[in-house]
Amino acid sequence: MQNLSSPWKTRCAFLVTLTLAGCGGGSPSSPEVTVQDREPAIVGNESSSVLPDESNTSGPLQPPADTAPDKTIEVDGTTYTDLAKAEAAIQAGSTVVIGNGTYTRGLKIQPDNVTVTGSGKTHFRGAQLMGKATFIVDGDGVRIENIECSQVAVPDQNGACVRQQGRDLVLSQVYFHDSEQGILSAPGTGSLTIEHSRFERLGKAGRAHAVYSNNDSLSIRYSRFYSSKDQGHEIKSRAQHTLIEYSEIASLNGNDSRLVDTPNGGELVIRNSVLEQGPNSVNRQLIGFGLEATYDATKKNRVTLDNNVIVLDRQAGNQLLALPSAGGYKLKVHKNEVVGPAPVDKADYATGNTFFESRSAYGMGAFPALPEMGF
């Protein structure tokens, strides 16, 4: 842990960590972040918001207790060695446990309320079904956890680890990387929840992204999104309600576009998180909101950025927020700490936020170090 001087060291006295005591510069291999103990973000005065409140901040989940023998698949206690046969055995409410090993065939999940769990070193590599994804989820209420997925590519250049076609999907403790897309959800699929997960080196031709949500609501917490490539976004969400909290979204060395893009507008909340714009980011805009023709200024549109650390490593210029010229939105940007060359829109957010001209002024290590998080 590096010996930090004021002002960062002074601020540490007021920090409450998620699971870690202390402050300092971390690294992308094991990033940890502290968040300041401030009042919960208030998202407008309307009681109709469906975003979870800040009280839902339980710590990381423990690894699943159930495991299967290597290279086997257990469906409701029956063991299979062939994924196609296991897939045919899945029923509504099934529990599927997949043993450790590398799998090159994907899994289609059609029934509702199915849980799919890996065993700790369960890796789907280069697996895709129907030119879509490794996991095609048609059922509602499905949960996928403890799975690694990589090297997914399809002719349409939008191959995903997960294609969500059913409603209300939860991804927990997944590691999706080095593919065209992490997850792609279809319109009308209810909610998508991502927790305790890592998405890395994902993107294709500016049209595939680490997360591409067309859900009604997207909730992300305790997760990391690194190094999107080929002008992909780390997170693209067309959901009406998008919540990101206790997470890291960092370009690092990736040639990504925006960290977060919500082209339809809606309700966007990013709080208690770290955002880092890398030196190779193609787009100067960190966050885009309501920039496509699908934006409707007559609907409820709101952006809240609260209590984040925002690191600007792009020397060619940065812009915190790109907003629609049509207006029709509410904006709340406060208690953020912005580190690096002044963004072109600094004057718009000078009140209620703190700006530091460099990493050293903030008391943070050189690139690619990130502030530490305790999860």
More confident residue, 197 or 57: 197
Quick: pLDDT tens for 98-132. Answer: 999 999 999 999 999 999 999 999 999 999 999 99
The two structure tokens encoding residue 277: 């714009």
What is the percent of the chain with per-residue pLDDT over 90, rounded to a whole number? 81
Tell whether the model's pLDDT for residue 37 goes beyond 70: no
Tell me which of 41 and 251 has the higher pLDDT: 251
Is the sign of the CA dihedral 287, 303, 275, 207 positive or negative?
negative
Q: Where are the domains of the chain?
A: 60-335
Tell me how far CA of residue 108 lies from CA of 70, 111, 157, 207, in angstroms.
Answer: 21, 9, 20, 24
333 forms beta bridges with: 305
The conformation of residue 71, written as its DSSP 8-state character, comes to T
CATH architecture of 60-335: 3 Solenoid (2.160)
Measured CA distances, 53 to 50, 215, 223, 232 (Å): 9, 19, 17, 29
Strand order across the 241-245 sheet: 78-80, 73-75, 95-98, 115-118, 143-145, 169-172, 191-195, 217-221, 241-245, 267-271, 302-306, 330-334
Mean pLDDT for all residues in the chain: 86
d(CA 72, CA 82): 8
Residue 60 has which token pair? 């990381």
Rounded distance between C-alpha atoms, residue 238 and residue 43, angstroms: 19
Nearest residue to 121 via CA among 149, 143, 96:
149
pLDDT in tens, 154-183: 999 999 999 999 999 999 999 999 999 999
